[in-house]
Structure 1
Amino acid sequence: MLVNPLVTVIVPNYNHARFLNQRLDSIFNQTYNNFEVILLDDLSQDNSIEVLDSYKDSRIIHRIYNKKNNGSPFKQWKKGLKLAKGDLVWIAESDDWADVTFLEKMIPIFSENENVAVAYSDMYYVDEHGIEIVDTFEEYTQQSHPTLWKNNHYYKGIDYVKDFMLNKCLIVNASSVVFKKDLGKKHIDRILNYKKAGDWLFWNILLSEEDVYVYFRGNEKLNYFRYSVQSTRSYPTIENKENGLIERTNVIFSTLNMLGLEQEKLQIKKREMLDWWAKDHSVIESLRIGFKSILDTAMFQETNVYSLYRHYIKYRIKNIPLIKTLRKNNYVQPNSLKN
C-alpha cells in the first residue's frame, strides 16, 4: 500500500524553451509536495539550458544536459527512470503543463487500489499559444466506447489492451500519466528504438503484466496537452509520416505477439495497416522506396511488392471519394492522437 509516496517527475526537453516556464511552474507549484525532479535536455538549439538553470528548487535532484542528441525521447525516459528514487513516475513533457492539483488528485489512486500500474487523467487539448482547441480526445475515445471515458473508472490492464489499445493509443499524452517506476524500469529497453509510438507500446506492455489495472480520471481535466509545430507528435514530412506508420505497424505486431498471436486477428490488422498506407500516400508518394519499407516490418515479412501495390490500387479505386474528402479536410495525415 503506497501512502504519501515519493514521486519522481522526469522532464525531458528538446527545443521547448518558450514553454518551459509554464511547464516547470506547474510542477513546482503542485499542491502535493512529496516529489523530486529530474531535468533532461537533449542538446536543444534554443535557450532551453538558460531557462532550466534559472530554476534553483531543492527538489531538483539531477540536471542532465546531453552533449549529443539521442534522437529518441524514450532514451531520455530511460535516463530518468534509472535515476528515479520515487515509487511512482510522472513524465512531464516539456511543452505541456498541468493543473497544480494533478499529483494531489492522481496519487491517492495508487493507495486505493494497489494493483493500479498506470493512472491517467482527462486533458485539455491546446494549441501553441495554450488556447483550447477542439476536444479531439473525446471524439477519439467515443469511437472505441461511447461513455466509458466520461467517468472515472478502473479497468483490468490486459483487457484494456485487448479491448481498446490494439487499434490506437488511448493514453495519448505521457504528461497525463503517473505509473509505477519498477514496471517502467523493467520494460523501458523495449521501446528505445522508437521515436514516436514508443509510449503506445510502453503502456501496452505495462498493462499486460499479470493482475495490473489502469485507472482513468474522467470527471475533470488535469492536464494540458499542447500540439505545436515543434511537437514530437507532428508528422511534417513524408519521411516522418512513413516512419510513424512503420512504428504503428510494429506496435500492433508486438502487442499481438505479447497477447498470443492469432492468425485471424493478424490478417485483419495487416489489412487495416495496408489501408492506412494506401490512404496516406499519393500515387507519386507510393513510388518512393519509403512506401515499400512497410515490407521490412515484422508484420509484413511474407508480403511481396506485388501484393502491396495490388492492395494499394484496389483501395484507392474503391475509396477515391473518401480520400478526396479526407485530403480536403486535412484528415489524411496521422494526427497528433494517432501514434
Structure 2
Amino acid sequence: MPQVSIITPCYNSARFLEETIQSVMNQTFTDWEWLITDDKSTDDSVEIIQKINDPRIKLSVAEKNGGAGHARNLSLEKATGRYITFLDADDFWEPDFLEEMVSFMKQENAEIAYSNYARCDEQLVPQIEDFKADKEVTFDNLLKTCRLSLLSSMYDSQRVGKEYFPEGSKREDHVMWLNLLKKIPIGKPLPKTMAKYRMHSTSVSRKKQHIVKDQYLVYKDFMKFSTLKSLYYTANWALNGFMKYSKIFN
C-alpha cells in the first residue's frame, strides 16, 4: 500500500500532459500511486498516458463525460494511500513536492497542509507573485476565500477519511475543502513554493463574474446558509478573488 495517492482528472490535456507526467516521475519521494481518470478525451491524452511503463500509474477511462469532480471521485474510490493529493493534468510539481509535504505532515501532525505555488502562464513563466501559504486554514476563514489549491495541498485520509467532490457544481473543490474542515480545527501552511499553476486565459475559475452564482450556491445549497449570510460570503469571496489575481496587489 503506497503512502501517497495522487488524484488526476484528465480531459483533452495532451498539450501539457507530458510536462505534468514528467513532474511526477521526477519526484524524489517514490512511494506513490497515481490514479488518473480520463473524462472521455477526444485528443491523444489516453495514448500519451498509456505509453508510460510504470505500475504505479493507474489509468481509468470514465464511461461518460461527467466533469472534473466526477473524474476525481472515480479515482478517489480506488485510492489506497494514506495521504491524498491532487494534480490536474496541466499543472506541475517541483521534484521535492511530495517529499516535503509528507515530511511536513508527519512533523506537524497535520491533517491538512498546503504550500506556496507559482502562478504562471501556459509556458510556466511566473506572471504575478507566488500564492503564499501564510495562514492556518479554518472552516471560518475558508468561507471568505479558498486558500487551499488542489495542486499544492494534501490531507491525511487515515485520520479524516476520504472526502468526495459534489458533482454538478463548478465550485466543487471549495465545497470539498469546507466539508473536510468541518471535521478538523486547522490546516497548516508550508511556506515553500513547490508547484506551478497554469493560469489559462479561458479558465472558468478565473472568470469571477461568470461563477458568482455558483459560488453563492456553495453557501446557500451546500453549507445551508441563509440568503443574507450566503450573499455576505459571496461578496467577500469576490473581493478576495479580485485581490488574489490582480497585479495591483501582487
How many Å apart are 1:228 and its aligned residue?
Answer: 1.5
4+ long deviations beyond 6 Å: 274-277
Which of 178, 186, 190 is residue 213 of structure 1 equivalent to?
186
- Aligned match of 2:39: 42
- Aligned match of 1:27: 24
**Partners of 1:136 and 1:123 in 2: CA distance:** 6
- Aligned match of 2:152: 176
Equivalent residues in 2 for 1:59-98 (5 A)? 59-60=56-57, 62-70=58-66, 72-98=67-93
**Partners of 1:271 and 1:232 in 2: CA distance:** 22
Tell me how many residue pairs correspond in the alignment.
243
**Partners of 2:143 and 2:233 in 1: CA distance:** 11
How many Å apart are 1:273 and its aligned residue?
Answer: 4.2
How many Å apart are 1:11 and its aligned residue?
Answer: 1.9
Q: Aligned partner of 2:37: which letter?
A: L
Equivalent residues in 2 for 1:9-20 (5 A)? 9-20=6-17
How many Å apart are 1:57 and its aligned residue?
Answer: 1.2
- Aligned match of 2:142: 165
Helix, strand or coil for the counterpart of 1:107?
helix
**Partners of 1:165 and 1:47 in 2: CA distance:** 37
1:248–1:31 distance in 2 versus 1, CA, 3 Å: same
1:27–1:132 distance in 2 versus 1, CA, 3 Å: same
Retained in 2: the 8 A contact 1:117–1:206?
Answer: no
**Partners of 2:235 and 2:87 in 1: CA distance:** 34
**Partners of 2:232 and 2:55 in 1: CA distance:** 53
Which of 231, 237, 248 is residue 270 of structure 1 equivalent to?
231
Structure 2 unaligned spans of 5+: none
Retained in 1: the 8 A contact 2:118–2:130?
Answer: no
C-alpha deviations, 1:272-330, integer Å up to 9, x for none? 647999x9xxxxxxxxxxxxxxxxxxxxxxxxxxxxxxxxxxxxxxxxxxxxxxxxxxx
Q: Quick check: which has more Rg, 1 or 2?
A: 1
Structure 1 unaligned spans of 5+: 139-148, 280-330
How many Å apart are 1:184 and its aligned residue?
Answer: 5.4
How many Å apart are 1:234 and its aligned residue?
Answer: 4.8
How many Å apart are 1:32 and its aligned residue?
Answer: 0.7
- Aligned match of 1:300: none
Helix, strand or coil for the counterpart of 2:187?
strand
Retained in 1: the 8 A contact 2:91–2:151?
Answer: yes
Which of 99, 111, 123 is residue 104 of structure 1 equivalent to?
99
Helix, strand or coil for the counterpart of 2:197?
strand
Higher helix share: 1
How many Å apart are 1:246 and its aligned residue?
Answer: 2.1
Equivalent residues in 2 for 1:311-326 (5 A)? none
**Partners of 2:71 and 2:203 in 1: CA distance:** 16
How many Å apart are 1:253 and its aligned residue?
Answer: 3.0
Helix, strand or coil for the counterpart of 1:86?
coil
How many Å apart are 1:112 and its aligned residue?
Answer: 2.1
Retained in 1: the 8 A contact 2:91–2:196?
Answer: yes
- Aligned match of 2:214: 247
**Partners of 2:6 and 2:186 in 1: CA distance:** 22
- Aligned match of 1:309: none
Retained in 1: the 8 A contact 2:9–2:89?
Answer: yes
**Partners of 2:2 and 2:59 in 1: CA distance:** 22
**Partners of 2:221 and 2:111 in 1: CA distance:** 20
% same residue: 23
How many Å apart are 1:169 and its aligned residue?
Answer: 1.0
- Aligned match of 1:121: 115
Q: Aligned partner of 1:24: which letter?
A: I
